[in-house]
Structure 1
Amino acid sequence: MDFKFYCARSPSMDSNARMFFDENGYYVKHSLFSQDEVAEIRDHFMEMRKEGEKPGDYGGDAKKGDGDPLNKFPRFINMQKWDTKTDVWQSDPRLVSTASTLVGDDVNLCQTMLYFKPPGSRGQGLHQDNQYIRQYPIIAAWLALDGCDKANGQMIIVPGSNKLGVLPVQQADMARSFTPGETIIPEGAQEIGIDMEPGDVLFFGGFTIHGSYSNETADRFRRVFIVHYYAAHLETLPEDPSTSMAGVSR
């Protein structure tokens, strides 16, 4: 892999943020991006979606046609490979420095994603990113482009799940999840919803259980721009079909 390393840890970041991240597996940086910046990113990808199919589109149930909103608004992935603005945004010093500080290492790009989550669309089964990506540590930066709350399918986090390692997977309920797999949630684990405003960024680690439920609104998107970063010093997790989403069929 040809890595492009970012060395930009923030000496001014509150040490309590790193402690919170280590304890809970996530951290929210409020108002990291301005409303004008959010509008630019959101509008850019909405226009791009109108252009038609892009590499890696994923999300809708083709059998349902217009009955599945994700057929019109499938997820983007790795946009930096064909969109120069994405490459600028994924390397933004605010994202890079926060991610680097929280993970405790320099970071480099793993992938980018854009979720539209239009009104009426399904969520995503609770999962760990390291059930998909077998390198560790990784950290995600999840930039809210819309207000996120329970009604439109906010992010769900299981605090402290970052300490559990990679957990077993099972088939998800495809009536509620657009992806086929989900984590088998340990007994006693508590879910919390993360309310966010446009411009807030949620950072979380590869072992942190997260996902979302359906967008129950009639007129509100829940768009997010996501960057996953590798830490500079990586381990490859052991191959184990019981903890990998690769074997869960759609």
Structure 2
Amino acid sequence: MKNLISKEQIEEFHKKGFINVKGVYSDQEVNSINKQFRNHWIQLVQNGEIHAKEDRPLESLFPRMRDYHRKNPVIMKHTLKSEVFDLMKAVIGEEPLVISTSYYFKSPTTRELPLHQDNYAFGVFPGTTYAAWVSLDYTDEQNGGLQFVRGTQEKELEDPEKDPTNVREYFSDKGQEINVPKGSYVENITTNPGDVVIFNGNIIHGSNANVTKDRYRRCLLTHFTGVSVERLALNFNKLVNREGEKVRRRFNNNTKIAEKQGTIFSIKDAGYFDSWR
């Protein structure tokens, strides 16, 4: 972790709820990540598992690709990068565990990701999730960059505007949206390839629509939690430590969503692929 994050930056993270750590991944590593996912994407298209839909042809052609670290050793290596684990340990305060990974193309015409809180669905207890968002392109407000409501990581989990008991509606383009607290504002950030944005699972955040003609906003997102976690709702039996070993915790059937509908659900119930995050 030497030279990657300072005590002042850690304090900034706890004050704001997010921080952009510059240059964690090299250009070679960024290219390697993109190459691995491009190869998987080509295979999925060839197999007919991905195809363009009439209403959103480009967005649907470039969907989210989830948990490929489990099947691809190169992607696993990049996910388990020791510097990233050291960064996460510094901000979490204990050894981290990987919950899941997602790769996003965020192609031109891809919709915004409404403001939401990650741990509403993950159900980590005690504590929350922590995300490491690896920027694989230059990102800004125009091509779908991240946005945060600074300081809201201290807030409790809030119910979204739409009814989360309807799984498909909850994971629709506006299903997770929550309101910005009075007196707060949405802060857009820019990143360069290789930067890692770390953010708390309770912070209100989202991403802009990609309104550019030809700029993708690729990223590799890893959700972590601390080793002291007791229960969680998603991938509770597929956690991974820094050695790549599988770790298990108990299933959390008492999340905010479960309180609403009586039973918990998996993200897969809403469809394995989406692209708008």
1:30 match: 22
Counterpart position of 1:52: 44
2:8 is matched with: 16
Which amino acid in structure 2 is aligned with residue 160 of structure 1? G
Structure 1 residue 171 corresponds to structure 2 residue 162: yes
Aligned length: 234
Counterparts of 1:69 and 1:100 in 2: how far apart (Å)? 38
Structure holding more strand per residue:
1
Letter matched to residue 197 of structure 1? N
- Cα root mean square deviation, aligned: 3.0
What SS is found at the alignment partner of 1:183?
coil
Alpha-carbon separation, structure 1, partners of 2:27 and 2:107: 20
Structure 1 residue 13, shift from structure 2 partner = 3.9
Matched with 1:213 is 208
Q: 1:73 to 1:11 in 2, by over 3 A?
A: closer
Partner of 1:239: 255
CA drift at 1:221: 0.2
Asked whether the equivalents of residues 149 and 194 of structure 1 are also in contact (C-alpha less than 8 Å), the reply is yes
1:133 equivalent to 2:128? Answer no
Q: Deviations over 1:30-63 (max 9, x none)?
A: 0111112111111221222111169xx99x9x8x
TM-score with structure 2 length normalisation?
A: 0.75
2: CA distance between counterparts of 1:85 and 1:101? Answer: 25
**How big is the shift at 1:66?**
6.3
Q: How far has the Cα of 1:154 moved from its partner?
A: 0.4
After superposition, the C-alpha distances for 1:147-201 in whole angstroms (9 at most, x for unaligned) are 00111010011110101121221239x9xx7463212322222110110011111
Q: Match for residue 144 of structure 1? A: 135
Quickly say closer, same or farther: Cα 1:243–1:99, change in 2 above 3 A: farther
From 194, 211, 217, the equivalent of 2:189 is: 194
AA of the residue aligned to 1:112: T
Structure 2 spans left out of the alignment, 5+ residues: 164-168, 232-251, 271-277
Q: Which stretch of the first structure deviates more once superposed, 233-242 or 31-40?
A: 233-242
Which residue is equivalent to 2:220? Answer: 225
Range with greater deviation from structure 2 (180-189 or 210-219)? 180-189
Larger displacement relative to structure 2 (44-53 or 131-140): 44-53
User: 1:118·1:222 contact (CA, 8 Å) conserved in 2?
Assistant: yes
Helix, strand or coil for the counterpart of 1:221? Answer: coil
The residue that corresponds to 1:204 in the other structure is 199
TM-score by length of 1: 0.83
Counterpart AA for 2:177? E
Equivalent position of 1:115 in the other structure: 104
| Corresponding residue number in structure 1 for 2:63 | 74
Identity of aligned residues (%): 25
| Alpha-carbon distance between aligned partners in 2 of 1:150 and 1:12, rounded to the nearest angstrom | 25
Q: Secondary structure at the match of 1:132?
A: helix
- After TM superposition, the structure 1 stretch with the greater mean CA deviation from structure 2, 221-230 or 79-88, is 79-88
| Cα distance between partner residues in 2 of 1:89 and 1:103 | 20
Contact kept, 8 Å, 2:121 with 2:257, in 1: the verdict is no
Contact 2:116 2:178 in 1 (8 A): yes
Question: Per the alignment, do residues 90 and 244 of structure 1 end up closer, same or farther by CA in structure 2, a change over 3 Å counting?
Answer: farther
Q: Which residue of 2 aligns with 1:88?
A: 77
Q: Report the Cα distance in structure 2 between the residues aligned to 1:127 and 1:167, rounded to whole angstroms.
A: 9
User: Is 1:65–2:57 an aligned residue pair?
Assistant: no
Mapped partners of 2:260, 2:18: distance in 1: 22
1 CA distance for matches of 2:155 and 2:218? Answer: 29
Match for residue 43 of structure 1? 35
- Contact 1:137–1:235 (CA<8 Å) still a contact in 2? no
